[in-house]
Structure 1
Amino acid sequence: MDIARPELKQRKRRRQYLIGAGVVALITAAGVGLAALGPAMPSVDRSGVLIGTVKRGELLREVRGPGTLVPKEIRWIAAETAARVEHIVVKPGATVQPDTVILELSNPEVDDQLLAAKAAVTAAQSDLAAKRTDLSSKLLDEQSAFAHAKSDYEAARMQAEAEKVVAEKGVIPAVQYKKSLVVLEQLKNRVSIEEQRVGEFRRNIAAQIAAEQARLDQLAATRELRQRQADALHLRAGIAGILQQVPVEEGQQVAVGTNLARVAKPGELMAELRIAETQAKDVALGQPVKVDTRNGIVDGKVLRVDPAVQNGTVQVDVELVGMLPAGARPDLSVDGTIEIERLPDVLYVGRPAFGQPDSEVRLFKADPASGVASRLPVLLGKSSVNLIEIRRGLNVGDQVILSDTSAYDQHDRIRLK
């Protein structure tokens, strides 16, 4: 016969309650512990990131940009008249002298205009010579009239002086002497008038000759212009150098002002660098420059800074003061580094990705002992090509990740493995 024992059931139930409570307590404790640990730190391969060490010392600020070598002196030769390209005498790349003919052009109208201009000058010269002869003849007539009047005056004066003596003695009537005085006065006035007429005619001759000479000079200038236009049909280099371009073809019709050839002096080169507009603000005239020609480095200095921005860059002209290496030629691609300034005794580190000058960024500072990198704010200062000043947030010897860490923006710590 079974004996009922209710205390066993109660003991078993209490044991179940205790076990359940323990399980709940363990789960709760585990949850609290996991919550306290936070999200798991992502792991980053140390060899896959760039780590820089903070240093103290002199920071050389530089900006760098690509560019090309260009001649200092370039001459574009343009068409002075509309013409047709008959023959290309010299090809690009050839060495030319000032009188070297590059192109042969043709324009029949220019030849006709030159002949007409020469004929007009010849006719004007003949007209001027004829005018001089005619005016000289008329001047002689005026001078003859003046001389005749002067002769009549002298004869009348001598007669009046003679009549004065005999009139005082009563030999001739006084009225006759007075008539002689009247004639003498008339002849005196006539002499004065003739003298004035000769002077006026001389001035008139000068004016007429000057007018004819001006007309002749104008026609001569037109002839010289037509002669230059005719000579320009034989297109010459004008300077000694290298023929770089001939952007026309034989048989092509060109208009006035069309560029037909480009000649450059190859021995005198300069560099045209393209500096990012964000870095060009500190570039000034006279700053030293190192130009890498891929075959040597040439010293230079900033000659000009273009005030305009094109495609996000500013053109900086650099005068080369050092010896050019072999192979340096126009249009050669180069890299230029401009020295902005030297900052003594500052903290600096390699320039981080997306790190802009005078801005605050959040960088991961690495702990070599634990292998954990923690994010912290860092204030950046002035920058160079590969280095940047540290104003606040880091100390000498600190190691920071310089690579792009935007993939870990949601984490304040990462583990380096």
Structure 2
Amino acid sequence: MDAVVETRKLSTRAKAALGGAVALIGALLFWWFAPSGSSQTVGADQVTISTVTRGTFDDFIPLRARVTPLLTVYIDAVEGGRVEKMLVEDGATVAQGQPIALLSNAELQLSTLARQTEVEQQINNMRSQELALAQTRLANERAVLEADLALDKARRQYEREKPLAGKGFVTAKQFSDTEADYRYRARNLAALRRSQATDARLQTSQLSQQQAAAQSMQSGLSIARANLDALQLRAPVAGQLSGFSVQVGQSLQRGERVGQIDSPGRNKLIAGVDEFYLGRVQLQQRAGLDFGGKRYAAKVTKIYPQVQNGQFQVDLQFVGAEPANIQRGQTMQARLTLGDPAPALLVPNGAFYNETGGNWIFVVTPDGGSAVKRQVRLGRRNSEFIEVLEGLEAGEKVLTSPYTGYADKTRLDLTK
């Protein structure tokens, strides 16, 4: 008979040890292959992979500019009134000072006439005062002349009697009276001259004040007449009238805007620039634009530093000839040059810059299986490329698509 073969079984302790080893190996494999919190798996077709290259960096920014008149002068109603007559139509070309509408304002006309009458009365009163001052000055001069004549007579009488009184031919009383009269005439003449000088000084000051007051009244009357003349609306400058939509019979308030005049044949461009370039845009910088198959040059003439919706505005003025047949409000594409072209290491411009600010970027590993976060330093940028200053080498591949949802990751696993 065959012998019974005894089967040897693992002990309970051995089974426990083998199960623990298998569990440990599984945990290690899961830890190795499972994605960590700092990594994420994404499809290669969901990102944009670009190559770092060497080339020439053209330091420019594209602009979308709007055509507007080079000079715009607004027309306001200086005085309110009722529109009586329209002299030109909206869109007409007007000359400087040309009447464009006629207003009426009975209250202003009456007040101007009353003001004119009042001013004329005051001026007549001042003329009467000037006449009285002149007459007083003449009377003072006449009094001085008479006193001087009397003094001269008294002096001659005194000089005649003095030697005679010494010889006894003229009584002492008579000579004493003559001497006293002579001294009185001298003091009287001196007093009159002092009074005349004082009166002349006061009269001169009073006349100056009256003349200044008269000039002020004349100026006020001129302003009143100018306000009355302002009822006739005139073109302040030559150009094309626009926005002039008032109608006969319409009542206009003081200061109400009634239209504007645009400079004829001359235009400028207003463009919005990203606030990132606020410190780099300067006056007189050059810009170029293509229109109708031709290249036109322009320059920055004004910078508006106020930032709204992430942009500030600049004015561009054409250098030399400007495109023909362009219309107000038309948009044009322009390129604003910020610096000279220079050789540089370049990475294509992409939406990643909005997430990183140019401080880091995802670099694709040589095997193409993942992308690793790397600190870099990026410089100038235009609509096509960004200048690389540090952290990348030519030929490396980087992700330039948006980093939305990846900003807190250090590695991206790329799947086919």
Normalised by the size of structure 1, how large is the TM-score?
Answer: 0.78
The corresponding residue for 2:15 is none
CA contact (8 A) 1:273 1:335 kept: no
The corresponding residue for 2:213 is 215
Match of 2:62, SS state, is strand
Match of 2:148, SS state, is helix
The code of the aligned residue for 1:339 comes to T
The corresponding residue for 2:358 is 358
Any residues of structure 2 matched to 1:17-96 within 5 Å, and which? 52-96=50-94
Note if 1:390 corresponds to 2:388: yes
The one of 245, 251, 254 equivalent to 2:252 is 254
Take 1:167 and 1:148, find their aligned partners in 2: how far apart are those partners?
28
| Structure 2 unmatched ranges of 5 or more | 5-25, 36-40
The corresponding residue for 2:135 is 137
The Cα of 1:199 is off from its aligned counterpart by 2.6
- The number of residues matched between the two structures is 385
The Cα of 1:278 is off from its aligned counterpart by 2.9
Deviations 1:364-409 (A, max 9, x none): 5798xxxx67534463612212211234665434566655586999
Pick closer, same or farther for the CA change 1:177–1:411 going to 2, 3 Å. closer
The code of the aligned residue for 1:141 comes to A
Pick closer, same or farther for the CA change 1:167–1:116 going to 2, 3 Å. same
Take 2:405 and 2:126, find their aligned partners in 1: how far apart are those partners?
94
The code of the aligned residue for 1:78 comes to D
The corresponding residue for 1:20 is none
Take 1:340 and 1:220, find their aligned partners in 2: how far apart are those partners?
57
Pick closer, same or farther for the CA change 1:292–1:312 going to 2, 3 Å. farther
The one of 297, 300, 316 equivalent to 2:298 is 300
Take 2:139 and 2:245, find their aligned partners in 1: how far apart are those partners?
67
The corresponding residue for 2:414 is 413
CA contact (8 A) 1:88 1:250 kept: yes
Deviations 1:240-268 (A, max 9, x none): 11223226444443333222221121344
CA contact (8 A) 1:128 1:209 kept: no
The code of the aligned residue for 1:375 comes to A
Take 1:125 and 1:279, find their aligned partners in 2: how far apart are those partners?
64
CA contact (8 A) 1:78 1:257 kept: yes
The corresponding residue for 1:229 is 227
The corresponding residue for 2:18 is none
| Structure 1 unmatched ranges of 5 or more | 8-30
Deviations 1:78-126 (A, max 9, x none): 2222323334433332211111222322211221122223223332333
The code of the aligned residue for 1:166 comes to L
Match of 1:358, SS state, is coil
The corresponding residue for 1:23 is none
Bigger shift: 218-227 or 400-409?
A: 400-409
Take 1:295 and 1:274, find their aligned partners in 2: how far apart are those partners?
24
Take 1:87 and 1:297, find their aligned partners in 2: how far apart are those partners?
47
CA contact (8 A) 2:62 2:383 kept: yes
Take 1:229 and 1:392, find their aligned partners in 2: how far apart are those partners?
69
CA contact (8 A) 2:66 2:269 kept: yes
Take 1:265 and 1:79, find their aligned partners in 2: how far apart are those partners?
20
Deviations 1:206-262 (A, max 9, x none): 233333323322221111111111111111111111223226444443333222221
Take 1:188 and 1:105, find their aligned partners in 2: how far apart are those partners?
72
CA contact (8 A) 2:44 2:414 kept: no
Pick closer, same or farther for the CA change 1:358–1:163 going to 2, 3 Å. same
CA contact (8 A) 2:298 2:317 kept: yes
Take 2:142 and 2:108, find their aligned partners in 1: how far apart are those partners?
51
Pick closer, same or farther for the CA change 1:218–1:393 going to 2, 3 Å. closer
Note if 1:381 corresponds to 2:378: yes
The corresponding residue for 2:8 is none
Take 1:184 and 1:92, find their aligned partners in 2: how far apart are those partners?
89
The Cα of 1:44 is off from its aligned counterpart by 6.6
Note if 1:104 corresponds to 2:105: no
The corresponding residue for 2:13 is none
CA contact (8 A) 1:293 1:328 kept: no
Deviations 1:279-325 (A, max 9, x none): 43432333222245577543223233322111221112223324201
Take 2:134 and 2:188, find their aligned partners in 1: how far apart are those partners?
22
- Supply the RMSD in Å over aligned alpha carbons: 3.7
Take 2:247 and 2:47, find their aligned partners in 1: how far apart are those partners?
57
Pick closer, same or farther for the CA change 1:337–1:112 going to 2, 3 Å. same
Take 1:231 and 1:213, find their aligned partners in 2: how far apart are those partners?
26
Normalised by the size of structure 2, how large is the TM-score?
Answer: 0.78
CA contact (8 A) 1:276 1:313 kept: yes
Any residues of structure 2 matched to 1:218-367 within 5 Å, and which? 218-246=216-244, 248-292=246-290, 296-342=294-340, 344-356=342-354, 357-362=357-362
CA contact (8 A) 1:365 1:400 kept: no
Pick closer, same or farther for the CA change 1:289–1:245 going to 2, 3 Å. same
Match of 2:317, SS state, is strand
Deviations 1:144-180 (A, max 9, x none): 2222222221111111111112212211223321221
Take 1:166 and 1:405, find their aligned partners in 2: how far apart are those partners?
132
CA contact (8 A) 1:68 1:333 kept: yes
The corresponding residue for 2:23 is none
Take 1:187 and 1:390, find their aligned partners in 2: how far apart are those partners?
107
The Cα of 1:130 is off from its aligned counterpart by 2.5
CA contact (8 A) 2:352 2:401 kept: no
Pick closer, same or farther for the CA change 1:252–1:332 going to 2, 3 Å. same
Pick closer, same or farther for the CA change 1:235–1:292 going to 2, 3 Å. farther
